[in-house]
Amino acid sequence: MPIDKNEKQRLQEKARQHRTDIVNVTEWAGGAHIGGAMSMADILTILYYKFLRIDPARPDWDERDRMILSKGHGGVGLAAVLGRRGYFDMALLRNFNKFKSPFGMHLDCRKVAGVDASTGSLGHGMSMAVGLALGARLQRKSWITYCIVGDGECNEGSIWEAAMSASHFKLTNLITIVDRNSLMIDGRTEDVMALEPFADKWRAFGFLVKEIDGHDFDELNDAISDAREKRQAPVVIIAKTVKGKGVDYMENEVKWHYGSMNSELAQQARRSIEKMHSA
């Protein structure tokens, strides 16, 4: 079902808050993988505020949907949305990635409520998602597994092994979303290790492919709603995004894959986010 104007406004407000939280946590931590957290901010927003069947008061609830952040370096984004959704006190994020904090740069599912798998070594999360989806089927459970994969991460052969098995086992209870921001750690994906024709590759592996604007809540909503209903093959949503989205000086700048901000830059980032979300 399409989203109405009110719901879209609500999601946009959540996304504005989420992006501001990411800037704040990055400032407190003295640095984080902010570029890729900003690119997937709208994806995480619609998942955590609309689609995921979860209960922050019961992080281990067996019937919950699962969400694996395969591009685990985006932990700053996941931690921000989990805190805001009420899994833990947001104030704890003041110690993000500090000595003795439960929050490392890559989140540990044994230490942070709401994290379904410890990730960070690229290429592993999707295999874990395949395992969870198979597990749900074997146990006759109705929960859905979502997996967010980086496009640079798709240089990892293990992503394609996972894709091959998801398709072989017809895992229609798995929804993969690729954050297609076209940048990775050290350059453009197409320069470092070309992915195109990317959608065709997923199709060749047996996936139903949806290509969308990953910052457009109407398109995200339609693609995810549809993926939840169509049941012939696993679905991948290739969400075209902008690395650093929302902060003018970070957008499409590879150097902001990982970055730190002094208070002046952080203030500038918050102003930029306000401007984008009020336009």
Ligand X SMILES: Cc1ncc(C[n+]2csc(CCOP(=O)(O)OP(=O)(O)O)c2C)c(N)n1
Which residues make up the interface to ligand X (CB under 6 A)?
A: 33, 35-36, 39, 71, 73, 120-123, 150-153, 179, 181, 183-185, 243, 257
Taking the least distance from each CB to ligand X, the nearer of 54 and 154 is 154
Among the listed residues 99, 103, 50, 43, the one whose alpha carbon sits nearest the alpha carbon of residue 70: 43
Taking the least distance from each CB to ligand X, the nearer of 164 and 193 is 193
Instruction: Report, in Å, the least distance between residue 179 CB and ligand X.
Output: 5
Among the listed residues 20, 92, 79, 94, the one whose alpha carbon sits nearest the alpha carbon of residue 48: 79
- Which positions ≥6 away from 2 have C-beta within 8 Å? 218, 221, 222
Instruction: Report, in Å, the least distance between residue 47 CB and ligand X.
Output: 16
Taking the least distance from each CB to ligand X, the nearer of 183 and 227 is 183
Taking the least distance from each CB to ligand X, the nearer of 83 and 120 is 120
Question: What is the length of the chain?
Answer: 279
Instruction: Report, in Å, the least distance between residue 73 CB and ligand X.
Output: 4
Q: Which residue has the tokens 């003041």?
A: 94
- Residues 29, 76 contacting (CB under 8 angstroms): yes
Taking the least distance from each CB to ligand X, the nearer of 122 and 133 is 122
Instruction: Report, in Å, the least distance between residue 232 CB and ligand X.
Output: 28
Cβ-proximal residue to ligand X, closest one:
150
Tell me how far apart the alpha carbons of residues 123 and 198 are, in angstroms, rounded to a whole number.
16
Taking the least distance from each CB to ligand X, the nearer of 19 and 71 is 71
Instruction: Report, in Å, the least distance between residue 239 CB and ligand X.
Output: 11
Tell me how far apart the alpha carbons of residues 42 and 16 are, in angstroms, rounded to a whole number.
9
Instruction: Report, in Å, the least distance between residue 277 CB and ligand X.
Output: 21
- Residues 71, 275 contacting (CB under 8 angstroms): no
Long-range contacts, stretch 86-89, CB < 8 angstroms, 24+ apart: 86/56, 86/57, 87/56, 87/59, 87/112, 87/113, 87/114, 88/112, 88/113, 88/114
Which H/E stretch holds residue 80? helix 75-84
